[in-house]
Homo-oligomer: A and B are copies of this chain.
Amino acid sequence: MAKIAPDPSLLIDGGESVRRPLPDTLHVNGGDGTYSYTRNSYYQRLAANVVKEKINGAITMKLDVEKLSSTSNTICIADLGCAVGPNTFIAMQDLLDFIKHKFKLQCPNFKTLEFLVFFNDQPSNDFNTLFKSLPPERPYFAAGVPGSFHHRLFPESCIHFVHCSYALHWLSRVPEELLDKNSLAWNKGRIHYTNASNEVVNAYASQFAKDMENFLNARAKELVIGGMMIMIMPGIPNGMPYSQLAASLMYDFMSYSFMDMANEGLISEDQVDSFNLPIYTPSPEEMAALVEKNGHFSVESLELTNPASSVDGPVDINAWVTHVRAAMEGMFTKHFSSDTIDEMFDRLTKKLSKFSDQVESGYKERTQLLVVLIRK
């Protein structure tokens, strides 16, 4: 299997963690065409596979299913930022298997267990494709929940398990100061905080902290006491400069491609200055501090893993860019014409092909964050 995504920030899944200020721009490509997420999300799944057994272990060791089933025979699971499949279905099937296994261990006489899985994403997500792709013989009842996970999605204490894979790195909005020419955080000539000033980095970090606080508060209301939450997302080792992430190479080359096009008169510089990718990669220490500050959850596990450890062979740049496009294109379409986007992705592919050694170098880094929390 060709290695395609050496850095988890590039395995951009979900794409739906954005609240109302940007409701229609941040969703993965729907349908099942060439650039659809349905056809181009296989590598995200490989990255998630790396932590599969760790999740099984957390459920086996830490999930008190006897407590969860004390009032009802139904276990309610929410997948937040589910996109259009098929990864969400595979992840839910794995979770069900792990939870059933734990029931057999802890409650061998338990008989009539039923599961209700809530598939959540932004209202602009292609739920029609999601629903038509549901496994026909699924061992659970299925519901779709449209809305931002930075707000409440469910009634109080009605969810037993939350799963959120490659979605929390999407900020709910672009920090306003990035667009203010009079601010030190004005992000001129770039579309991301990589290689930008400290003020720009801080604006991103501050927005991520606010988003996580909203996210954790909402989930604290919805999860029953003892309920588990699994979060998988891009992460950066504490102290590593952002510019050493392979993802940064991608964002920088996107910036360079746009700026080249501006210099050639194909687009205006203003168009580049006024666009910023709302994507943030926290360190484990940063995430731990946010969870502790929130106070509603105990941390059962919080670690970096290598998302590409299950794949080998050379990086296939074309396939990698197609995957990234399936997940990210929706963000560009409100700001740039489709010709401009085609051109940018063409240039991006060429630039990345020239620097494949640098892409490759990200391969050995542990840049996927796995967080396991219990509602206390």
CB within 8 Å of B: which residues of A? 71-74, 112, 114-116, 118, 123-124, 126-128, 131-132, 134, 141-147, 152-158
Shortest Cβ gap from A21 to chain B (Å):
14
In the bound assembly, the distance between CA atoms of A85 and B126 in angstroms comes to: 18
In the bound assembly, the distance between CA atoms of A270 and B26 in angstroms comes to: 50
- Which residues from chain B contact A134 at a C-beta distance below 8 Å? 123, 146
Instruction: Contacts A114-B155, A116-B158 given; indicate if A144 touches B141 (C-beta within 8 A).
Output: no
The answer on a CB contact under 8 Å between B124 and A155 is no
List of 4 A-B pairs having minimum Cβ-Cβ separation, nearest first: A74-B155, A131-B146, A114-B155, A143-B143
Partner pick for A144 among B72, B74, B124, B127, CB 8 A cutoff: B127
Shortest Cβ gap from A326 to chain B (Å):
18
What is the count of identical protomers in the complex?
Answer: 2
Shortest Cβ gap from A266 to chain B (Å):
33
- Which residues from chain B contact A127 at a C-beta distance below 8 Å? 127-128, 131, 144
- Which residues from chain B contact A141 at a C-beta distance below 8 Å? 145, 152-155
The answer on a CB contact under 8 Å between A145 and B146 is no
The answer on a CB contact under 8 Å between B142 and A142 is no
The answer on a CB contact under 8 Å between B145 and A145 is no
Complex: chain B residue closest to A30, CB-CB: B128
In the bound assembly, the distance between CA atoms of A74 and B156 in angstroms comes to: 8
- Which residues from chain B contact A146 at a C-beta distance below 8 Å? 131, 134, 142, 144
In the bound assembly, the distance between CA atoms of A152 and B144 in angstroms comes to: 16
The answer on a CB contact under 8 Å between B132 and A123 is yes
Sample 23 A-B pairs with CB under 8 A, ordered by A number: A71-B71, A73-B155, A73-B156, A74-B158, A114-B156, A116-B154, A116-B155, A123-B131, A123-B132, A123-B134, A127-B127, A127-B144, A128-B128, A131-B144, A131-B146, A141-B154, A142-B146, A142-B147, A143-B143, A143-B144, A143-B145, A144-B145, A144-B146
- Which residues from chain B contact A131 at a C-beta distance below 8 Å? 123, 127, 144, 146
In the bound assembly, the distance between CA atoms of A145 and B124 in angstroms comes to: 17
Shortest Cβ gap from A218 to chain B (Å):
11
Shortest Cβ gap from A276 to chain B (Å):
26
In the bound assembly, the distance between CA atoms of A112 and B155 in angstroms comes to: 10
Shortest Cβ gap from A134 to chain B (Å):
7
In the bound assembly, the distance between CA atoms of A118 and B73 in angstroms comes to: 19
In the bound assembly, the distance between CA atoms of A124 and B126 in angstroms comes to: 13
In the bound assembly, the distance between CA atoms of A214 and B132 in angstroms comes to: 23
Instruction: Contacts A73-B156, A74-B156, A127-B127 given; indicate if A118 touches B132 (C-beta within 8 A).
Output: no
In the bound assembly, the distance between CA atoms of A73 and B224 in angstroms comes to: 13
Partner pick for A128 among B72, B126, B155, B156, CB 8 A cutoff: B126
In the bound assembly, the distance between CA atoms of A144 and B146 in angstroms comes to: 8
In the bound assembly, the distance between CA atoms of A145 and B144 in angstroms comes to: 6
- Which residues from chain B contact A112 at a C-beta distance below 8 Å? 156
- Which residues from chain B contact A118 at a C-beta distance below 8 Å? 143
In the bound assembly, the distance between CA atoms of A248 and B59 in angstroms comes to: 59
In the bound assembly, the distance between CA atoms of A112 and B157 in angstroms comes to: 12
Complex: chain B residue closest to A71, CB-CB: B71
In the bound assembly, the distance between CA atoms of A123 and B154 in angstroms comes to: 22
- Which residues from chain B contact A157 at a C-beta distance below 8 Å? 72
